[in-house]
Amino acid sequence: MAMRVDQILCLKMYEQMLTIRLFEEKAIELFEHNLIRGNIHPCIGQEAVSVGICSALRQEDYMVNTHRGHGNCIAKGAQLKRMMAELLGKSTGYCKGKGGSMHIADFEGGNLGANGIVGGGLPIAVGAGISIQNRGTDQVAACFFGDGATNQGTFHESLNLAAIWKLPVIFVCENNQYALSTPIREAISISRISDRAAAYGISGMSLDGNDVIEVYTKTKEAVERARAGNGPALLDCITYRFFGHFTGDPGRGITYRSKEEMDHWLDRCPIKNFKERLLQEKILTEEIEKRIRDKIKTALEEAVQFAIESPSPSPEEAAQDVFY
């Protein structure tokens, strides 16, 4: 099967997906060593959605993120060092240690931040769309949310507003099929989340969210339509998280998912399959792959070192950045 996108972009997407995977593995390791407090919601297994979507965006485009958001941050161009520092609660982190894993924002990179409230980001993306329309630029706003968020009121209000005003918002459902422990098949009475787009008169489609090329090409089409003033789209990217809801979820979610199901999806790993495809197409060799992997590992070592060596915030900084 011939690639529909150019080789350089393919390699870049592969590198980004692998960066997300290795970043999260490192973060989980640091969490297990008590260097990261609180919790992490890993997106391992969903990397093709993050990278496929964000590769179709420009730097000045906006991105609204979720609690499971490390991958989307990296794909939108965040620095590993400042992300890792934030995870460790350090002053050099993106949010000076005030946000942590669940709340990374990078306004310079168009990342309007990650939300701890399921569905909390959708109205914000609508506002970014209004702002774009008002200022007359050709930016777009990509709004990530999970399948669980599609049953919140914000989903419906936001899709409707974006539809009636033809706002340049790409609604991206990272459909990993579980809202914490609740399977999507028990949470909606239709077979595909994308069918809901029809109710708002906007374009909607369900995609193989583990195929980065498919996600990228379909996103690119949706983004082009939005830039041209033709309104929003709903992309339902069907994927799977290999870990549990969060690092405290026993057995990676085995209490609500069968081993057979998990094995089935592990076999559909977006990175493994993309690598095989790139090798087959001779876009990638094992040697180049190793070079990419080593480069990422070095960058991650540096990020961890930077985070560990960075100063912790003084307690009094808790009173800054807010009207007291």
For the chain, counts of helices (H) and of strands (E): 12, 8
Residue 131 found at the interface with other proteins (CB under 8 A): yes
The alpha carbon of 189 is separated from its chain's Cα centroid by a whole number of angstroms, namely: 26
Query: From the CB of 161, what's the least distance to other proteins, in Å?
Result: 5
Residue 223 found at the interface with other proteins (CB under 8 A): no
- Exposure of 53 in the CB half-sphere (CA atoms within 13 A): 36
Residue 109 found at the interface with other proteins (CB under 8 A): no
Q: Helices 47-54 and 270-280: crossing angle, nearest 10°?
A: 60
Nearer residue to other proteins within complex by CB, 136 or 250: 136
Exactly one of 24, 47, 106, 211 binds other proteins (CB under 8 A); that residue is 106
Residue 314 has phi, psi (to 5 degrees) of -75, 145
Contact 76/56 with Cβ under 8 angstroms?
no
Rounded Cα distance, 22 and 297, in Å: 8
56-95 positions binding other proteins, by CB under 8 A: 62, 64, 93-95
Nearer residue to other proteins within complex by CB, 45 or 121: 121
Rounded Cα distance, 33 and 23, in Å: 15
Q: Give 141's strand partners.
A: 62, 169
Exactly one of 130, 180, 279, 288 binds other proteins (CB under 8 A); that residue is 130
Exactly one of 122, 197, 223, 226 binds other proteins (CB under 8 A); that residue is 122
Q: Both ends of the chain: CA-CA distance in Å?
A: 59
Exactly one of 7, 29, 38, 117 binds other proteins (CB under 8 A); that residue is 117
Residue 322 found at the interface with other proteins (CB under 8 A): yes
Q: State which H helix or E strand residue 182 sits in.
A: strand 182-183
Question: Binding mask 134-173 vs other proteins (x if CB under 8 A, - otherwise)?
Answer: xx-----x-----------xx--xx-xx--x---------
Rounded Cα distance, 281 and 302, in Å: 33
Nearer residue to other proteins within complex by CB, 36 or 141: 141
Exactly one of 52, 69, 89, 120 binds other proteins (CB under 8 A); that residue is 120
| Interface ranges with other proteins (CB under 8 A) | 62, 64, 93-99, 103, 105-107, 112-113, 115-117, 120, 122-132, 134-135, 141, 153-154, 157-158, 160-161, 164, 320-323
